[in-house]
């Protein structure tokens, strides 16, 4: 491989390779189903039983495939030195470590941050290669985002713009009714609209190269933890954005991946920050709210909240950063990463346990009704089927132009190969 065009053809093949094996899924399914049939044949030999066992076998086979792909060592794409990645929120935490590690791998890194004199910027300048560019970008500002794209176009040279990592994010701690609506708006502006704004601005470059979009989501985008709901709402919004965008972008050959970390020790989860934010939110709450909950409730909340974060926040930032690297430049990326065994187990419970049991765990009681049989069936599939199968189901049902889109994409790939 000695020319950019050769490398481009590798890129095109690489984007579509997924770290998931349908062959293995099929084999495991047949195996598990066979065992179930053998065990149950004499006791429950009817159609409903077969359907139930089939579903159970599918879930177990899916878990088997995930287990296998998780233990297979990860491999990066070739020609990292020819690829460029833009990351937002590089002044600290995941973004800072990601920028440093990608730079060490030879990738051209555009490290987006808000203040060129902040500690993170100085650390990047002091420790990284000349291939790392610091780009001033506030994701809530249109002008900054436009300038960032201009800067990339001007400086990228013969490198291929390969990935955009939407990592910038803010949080807030406090009960929903304590938090003022302006705070919700601020969170949405950064976490949700910031991601959409930056993605839309970089999409022309990504489409051209059939590159990747990576989003730092959160387990809070799958499961709403009390005291963190305004933040959770933004991460749920991102989850739906990524879920749909992946399906829309498939026709362009642009991959969309998301990483949903649990709790890690970064600026966002610093105890000092949690206490300061909680005090601010409580201080600004209405008198009615304050007298209803009372000071004791607030003190108890603060003690429990900081105790939980102190005990559970992991120092192993390498975990989510490794997943972000795999999503951005790995040869076989996954649609969705949940870094860490504990978080994976919690997400497994959140996905497969009946909501009644989950609610019991939180000592809250609430019901979620989905009217209509068809809707209930679809929600059942969406909850229990592997994401790969729900994608096929959606594309067959919703995106009627899917076959045409695939043909068009193949034509584009052929044309782009001819061009180079
Ligand atoms: N830490 C966790 O436990 C955890 C768990 C799940 C998900 N996450 C997600 O991971 C991502 C990174 O967070 P982190 O844990 O690494 O926290 P962090 O150290 O606080 O990093 C957040 C980064 O986002 C930047 N940022 C905030 N508002 C911005 C804006 N308007 N425009 C551009 N950049 C902005 C911050 O820049 P400034 O320094 O300028 O503020 C900082 O660089 C976030 O999306 C967060 O929601 C974190």
Higher pLDDT, 236 or 22: 236
Do 202 and 86 meet the contact criterion of CB atoms below 8 Å apart?
yes
Beta bridge partners of 163: 85, 212
Which pLDDT does position 305 carry in this prediction? 86
Give the Cβ contact number of residue 196 at 10 Å. Answer: 15
Our answer on whether the CB atom of 89 is closer than 6 Å to any ligand 1 atom is: yes
Residue 324, judged by CB atoms within 10 A of its CB (0-12, 13-18, 19+), counts as buried
pLDDT in tens, 196-225: 999 999 999 999 999 999 999 999 998 888
Burial 197-216 (b: 16+ CB within 10 A, else e): bbbebbbebbeebbbbbbbb
Pocket test residue of 87, 88, 93 for ligand 1, highest count of atoms within 8 A of CB: 93
Percent of the chain with pLDDT over 90: 57
Do 125 and 114 meet the contact criterion of CB atoms below 8 Å apart?
no
Compute the distance between CA of residue 149 and CA of residue 158 in angstroms, rounded to an integer. 16
User: Which of 4-18, 109-123, 302-316, 354-368 is most confident?
Assistant: 109-123
Give the Cβ contact number of residue 354 at 10 Å. Answer: 8
Our answer on whether the CB atom of 216 is closer than 6 Å to any ligand 1 atom is: yes
Token couple for 64: 């088997």
Sign of the torsion angle spanned by Cα atoms 379, 380, 384, 385: negative
Who's near 281: CB < 8 A, 6+ residues apart? Answer: 172, 173, 174, 178, 179, 180, 183
Give the Cβ contact number of residue 281 at 10 Å. Answer: 19
User: CA distances (Å), 410 to each of 204, 240, 326, 343, in order?
Assistant: 18, 27, 25, 38
Distance of CA 267 from the midpoint of ligand 1 (Å): 8
Pocket test residue of 142, 169, 224, 277 for ligand 1, highest count of atoms within 8 A of CB: 169
Do 234 and 192 meet the contact criterion of CB atoms below 8 Å apart?
yes
Which pLDDT does position 91 carry in this prediction? 98
Q: How far apart are the two ends of the chain, measured CA to CA in Å?
A: 13
Who's near 159: CB < 8 A, 6+ residues apart? Answer: 82, 83, 84, 108
Which residues are catalytic, by number? 231
Distance of CA 96 from the midpoint of ligand 1 (Å): 10
Phi-psi region of 263 (alpha: psi -120 to 50; beta: other; left: phi over 0): beta
Which pLDDT does position 54 carry in this prediction? 78
Single out the residue of 152, 165, 34 nearest to residue 96, CA to CA: 165
Which pLDDT does position 2 carry in this prediction? 41
Token couple for 101: 């590690």
Total number of residues shown for the chain: 420
Sign of the torsion angle spanned by Cα atoms 219, 220, 221, 224: positive
Give residue 344's pLDDT band: very low, low, confident or very high (50, 70, 90). confident
pLDDT in tens, 154-186: 999 999 999 999 999 999 999 999 999 999 999
Our answer on whether the CB atom of 33 is closer than 6 Å to any ligand 1 atom is: no
DSSP element (H, E) containing 407:
helix 402-419
Single out the residue of 324, 335, 338 nearest to residue 100, CA to CA: 324
Who's near 249: CB < 8 A, 6+ residues apart? Answer: 213, 255, 256
pLDDT for residue 150 is more than 90: yes
Token couple for 297: 């409730």
Distance of CA 169 from the midpoint of ligand 1 (Å): 4
Distance of CA 74 from the midpoint of ligand 1 (Å): 26
Compute the distance between CA of residue 414 and CA of residue 253 in angstroms, rounded to an integer. 12
Token couple for 98: 């990601």
Give residue 66's pLDDT band: very low, low, confident or very high (50, 70, 90). confident
């Amino acid at each position: 491989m000695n020319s950019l065009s050769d490398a481009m053809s590798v890129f095109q093949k690489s984007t579509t390779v997924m770290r998931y094996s349908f062959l293995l899924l099929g084999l495991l399914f047949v195996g598990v189903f066979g065992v179930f049939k053998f065990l149950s044949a004499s006791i429950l030999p009817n159609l409903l039983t077969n359907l139930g066992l089939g579903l159970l076998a599918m879930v177990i086979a899916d878990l088997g495939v995930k287990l296998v792909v998780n233990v297979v060592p990860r491999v990066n794409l070739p020609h990292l030195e020819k690829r460029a990645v833009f990351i937002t929120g590089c002044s600290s935490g995941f973004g800072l470590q990601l920028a440093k590690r990608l730079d060490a791998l030879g990738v051209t890194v555009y490290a987006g941050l808000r203040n060129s004199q902040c500690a993170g910027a100085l650390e990047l300048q002091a420790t990284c290669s000349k291939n790392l560019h610091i780009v001033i970008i506030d994701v809530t500002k249109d002008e900054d985002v436009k300038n960032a794209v201009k800067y990339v176009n001007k400086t990228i040279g013969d490198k291929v713009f390969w990935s955009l990592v939407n990592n910038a994010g803010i949080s807030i701690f406090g009960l929903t009714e304590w938090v003022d609506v302006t705070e919700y708006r601020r969170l949405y502006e950064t976490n949700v609209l910031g991601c959409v704004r930056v993605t839309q601005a970089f999409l022309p470059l990504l489409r051209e190269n059939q590159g990747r979009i990576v989003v730092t989501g959160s387990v809070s985008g799958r499961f709403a933890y009390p005291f963190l709901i305004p933040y959770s709402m933004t991460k749920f919004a991102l989850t739906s954005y990524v879920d749909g965008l992946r399906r829309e972008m498939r026709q362009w050959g642009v991959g969309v991946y998301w990483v949903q970390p649990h709790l890690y020790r970064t600026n966002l989860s610093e105890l000092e920050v949690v206490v300061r934010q909680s005090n601010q939110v409580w201080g600004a709450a209405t008198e009615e709210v304050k007298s209803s909950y009372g000071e004791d409730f607030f003190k108890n909340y603060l003690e429990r909240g900081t105790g939980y974060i102190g005990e559970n926040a992991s120092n192993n930032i390498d975990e989510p950063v490794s997943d972000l690297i795999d999503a951005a430049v790995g040869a076989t990326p996954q649609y969705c990463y949940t870094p860490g065994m504990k978080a994976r187990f919690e997400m497994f419970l959140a996905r497969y346990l009946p909501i009644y049991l989950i609610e019991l765990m939180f000592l809250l009681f609430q019901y979620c009704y989905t009217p209509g049989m068809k809707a209930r069936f679809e929600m059942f599939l969406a909850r229990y089927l592997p994401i790969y199968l729900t994608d096929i189901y959606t594309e067959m049902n919703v995106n009627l132009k899917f076959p045409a889109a695939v043909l068009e994409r193949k034509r584009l790939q052929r044309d782009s190969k001819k061009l180079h």
